[in-house]
A and B are shown apart, each in its own frame.
Chain A
């Protein structure tokens, strides 16, 4: 079964078409990259898939459940880490994790157990007692992803997870995301081309709400005869304007 199926999905904001009749299938356990320039429709697509926004037409399914009709079931299967850090600032790292466990219906003891596991998996122990607002951007982003994973989602949406981070913090997060590959389905939006190339099993390049090209990084480079992924991206994006 496909983890995600998108069928003729369209999203309009008044006259502006943010997502234009896209169709896509993402396999179970795949790390799928959505690439595009600003306003390409990446975040809007992600918002529709994560039940944060309603499509104007078309439909999307998460493990066979409709994101517009079976919202309750879909929300239990997914989690999201947004491009802005979404943490409770005055709660400690551990409290933030326990809080999200409780919100997804786990009992207190289970939430604590899961929080401790996340602290270990994400090497958060040195900051576990610190208030989230006192953490650096890199640590906050790491916590934000841990908060998304504590609920053991089948599908994880990462919306520009390394935006604004320094190169070291970004590489550390790459390591964390890489470790998740194959275990859960991940849909990643990013502006960093090298990030998409390094992490993604397949990549879709979006411009003006359309999917212009789809394949592995190698396939995309080959399709336009470029050696560098950046050149391939530019060529694909320009070709379709």
Chain B
């Protein structure tokens, strides 16, 4: 009950912040539209498929999740830096109720964001005459849930460690890394050597890959990518819970 009350408060705080709409919902759709227009102007001889809608939509979905991470970090760090959490620490709330209460609303926003991005992708794919499959959208939306948990975990972690000035800066680094090394704007498949290895080891490209594969119904190597994403999601989320609890205890010393 307390968890749901706290989740409700967090949900309202997020929904009443116009930046949530701009970054979490508007920005991915705008990027999708802009990149599709850019893709139209790339000659077919260039053989560049990364911006084609069936590849772009999953990349933008994961890109959108990075903003979900940013908002998670901002909300927690702002609550920590102000006196609001102090009031709640003096209440009968338990640490797990804080963590679940932060996760539920942001998870809802992440799922809605993914749905909107894929819906926009579907509409764009119809307009350009290259329709993506509805069943693929549905499966891909489910497949991206571990990635959403991972990015929420990053947000919880940064929000627990850093203040509301530093947390966004740290998130910007992850946003940039996920764009570059996640294969959203860069064709990782065409790379070789150390950079490709880094992309394979980090979860960002693997997350984009699971989305693309499930969207396009091509599952070669899917299990490995999914496993890597799931391991990162579980580890990062657990670490973030541990850090939040430690910081909560430290705040009460």
Q: Which residue of A lies closest to B13 (CB)?
A: A90
Q: Which of A49-57, A118-126, A186-194, A201-209 contacts B (4 or more CB under 8 A)?
A: A49-57
Distance (Å) between the CB of B37 and the closest chain A CB?
35
Does B83 lie within 8 Å of A90, measured CB to CB?
Answer: no
> Is there a chain B Cβ closer than 8 Å to A241's Cβ?
no
Number of A residues with CB within 8 Å of any CB on chain B:
31
Known A-B contacts A86-B86, A105-B1; A131 and B93 likewise in contact (beta carbons under 8 Å): no
**Once the chains are docked, how many angstroms separate the CA of A103 from the CA of B84?**
13
Stretch from B2-10, B54-62, B112-120, B134-142 contacting the other chain: B2-10
Using CB atoms, name the residue of chain B closest to A84: B83
Q: Across the interface, do B5 and A99 meet the contact criterion of CB distance under 8 Å? A: yes
Query: Could you tell me if B12 and A87 are in contact, using CB atoms closer than 8 angstroms?
Result: no
- Give the segment of A21-29, A34-42, A70-78, A214-222 that binds chain B: A70-78
Name the interface size band of chain B. 20 to 34
CB atoms of A105 and B90 under 8 A apart: no
Q: Check A79 for interface membership: any CB of B closer than 8 A.
A: yes
A131 to B9, CA, bound (A): 13
| C-alpha gap A95/B12 in the complex (Å) | 10
Q: Which one of A75, A85, A88, A90 contacts B90 once the chains associate, using CB atoms below 8 Å?
A: A75
Residue of B nearest to A78 (CB): B90
Q: Are B87 and A82 in contact (CB under 8 A)?
A: yes
Q: Are A75 and B84 in contact (CB under 8 A)?
A: no
Given contacts A90-B16, A90-B17, contact A84 B6 (CB under 8 A): no
Query: Which one of A52, A76, A95, A148 contacts B89 once the chains associate, using CB atoms below 8 Å?
Result: A52
A80 contact from B5, B87, B92, Cβ within 8 A: B87
A82 to B92, CA, bound (A): 17
A137 at the interface (CB under 8 A from B): no
Min Cβ gap B109→A in Å is: 15
**Bound: A52/B89 CA distance, A:** 7
Residues of A within 8 A of B89 (CB): 51-52
Q: Does A147 contact B (CB under 8 A)?
A: yes
Question: Is A91 a contact partner of B87 (Cβ separation < 8 A)?
Answer: no
Taking beta carbons and an 8 Å cutoff, which residues of B are in contact with A? 1-2, 5-6, 8-9, 12-13, 16-17, 82-84, 86-93, 252-253
* Additional A-B contacts beyond A79-B90, A91-B13 (15; CB < 8 A): A52-B86, A53-B253, A78-B90, A79-B91, A80-B87, A83-B83, A86-B82, A86-B83, A86-B84, A90-B17, A102-B2, A103-B5, A103-B88, A104-B91, A148-B87
